[in-house]
Amino acid sequence: MKRMDMTRVQRFPMGESILLKREIAKRIFAKEFEACRELEKSARSDPEAADSKVPNLLISPLGLILNRVFVVGVVTELDNIGTQGEMWKARIVDPTGAFTVYAGQYQPDASIFFSTVQVPAFIALTGKARIYEPEPDSVFVSIRAEEANVVDEEIRNRWVVDTAEQTVERLEAFSDALASGYHGEEVREYLVDKGISSELAEGISIALERERAPQEFVKLLRDSIKEGLKSLDLDGGTGAKTDQKEFVLELLREMGGNKGVDYAAFMDAAVSRGIPEQVVEEVIHALLAGGQCYEPKIGIIRLVG
C-alpha cells in the first residue's frame, strides 16, 4: 500500500509559502467508528477550527478526532444501489464489527474497484468519514471510499495488530483522564504534560463532556479487541484447541464452505462427529471475527477464499 501524503506545500508570490495540512487517515476499529459523532467546530479550542475551509470532523467516544480513515477487512457484501448511475455500497468486516462504505461517480477509482472485486476478499481502503442524522437518536456513520486495493490475510492481520496497539494507547490515555477527575482545559493540560498529543488530549477533554457512560464503552471496546486478537490465532495455537479448529475448518470445506453451508446442518454434522456444540460455536465465532468466514445471509456460513 502506498502511503498517503500528509501535507503539501503551496507557493505564493515573493517566495512565501504556507504548509497546508491534509487530514491523516486514522486507523480505527469498526466498534469505535460506529460510535463516532459529529464534532462541532465551536467545540474546538483552536480558533482556526471555525474556518469554513476546515473539513467536517467526527469524534469517537475515546476522543479520536478524524476526517479520513484507513481500514482493512473482509468485504462480505457489495451492491450497486444507484438508480441513475453506479453507487456502490459495501460492508467491510473487521474483528470488532463492520464498516458501511459507499463509492459513486465522484470516487471513480473506488467505484471501478468495487465494480470488479470478487466477494469475499481482504481489502485495504482509505476514505472520508461521513455521518447522517435523519432524526434525533438515529445516526448512521459510513465511509466515502477514496482508494481500495485487494490485500492478503497477512496484511489484514498486521492492520489489526497495529490498530489494536493504537486503540489501547487511546484507551489508556482516556482511562487515565477519567480517573484524574479533571475536566476541560485542566484535563487537556494534564494529558499533554504526560506526553499525549495535543489533538488527542483535546479530543479526550471533549469526549469526557459528551459521553454519558464512558466506563461502559471502554470495557466494551477492550473486550472486542481481546476477542479480535484471539481470533487471529497469531501464534498458530497449540494442542486440542488447534485440532478442533482445524477439524471445523476441514468440515466446512467438506460441506462446500466456499459456496455456503447451512449453520444448523453444519452444527448437526460437527456434533455427530464428536465436537461439542459449544466448541463449534466458539470456533465459528472466532472464524467470523478473524474474517476467515462470513454470513452472506442469516443462517448461512461461507468460507473466505
Count Cα atoms within 13 angstroms, Cβ side, for 272.
7
CB neighbours of 260 closer than 8 A, spacing ≥ 6? 296, 300, 301, 302
Of 145, 36, 23, nearest to 92 (Cα)? 145
Give me the pLDDT at residue 114, please.
95
Give me the pLDDT at residue 234, please.
53
CB neighbours of 167 closer than 8 A, spacing ≥ 6? 28, 29, 32, 62, 221, 225
Cα 173 from chain centroid?
20
Residue, of 228 and 125, whose pLDDT is higher: 125
Give me the pLDDT at residue 151, please.
94
Give me the pLDDT at residue 213, please.
78
pLDDT at 147 over 50: yes
Of 26, 27, 25, 31, nearest to 289 (Cα)? 31
Q: Say which residue the cell 460492508 belongs to.
A: 91
pLDDT at 244 over 50: yes
CB neighbours of 94 closer than 8 A, spacing ≥ 6? 29, 30, 71, 72, 73, 160, 228, 291
E-strand spans in 30-170?
37-39, 57-59, 65-66, 68-80, 88-94, 97-103, 121-135, 138-150
Residue, of 207 and 134, whose pLDDT is higher: 207
Decide: 75 and 119 in contact? Cβ < 8 Å.
Answer: yes
What does the pLDDT look like over 254-274, one tens digit per residue? 887 678 899 999 999 988 888
Which of the four pLDDT bands, split at 50, 70 and 90, describes residue 6? very low
Q: Say which residue the cell 479520513 belongs to.
A: 68
Q: How far apart are CA 164 and CA 158, in angstroms?
A: 10
What does the pLDDT look like over 19-72, one tens digit per residue? 335 578 999 999 999 999 999 866 666 655 555 556 789 999 999 999 999 999
What does the pLDDT look like over 81-103, one tens digit per residue? 887 778 999 999 998 989 999 99
Angle between helices 214-232 and 153-180 (to 10 degrees): 150
* pTM summary value: 0.77
Decide: 224 and 96 in contact? Cβ < 8 Å.
Answer: yes
Type of residue numbered 129: A
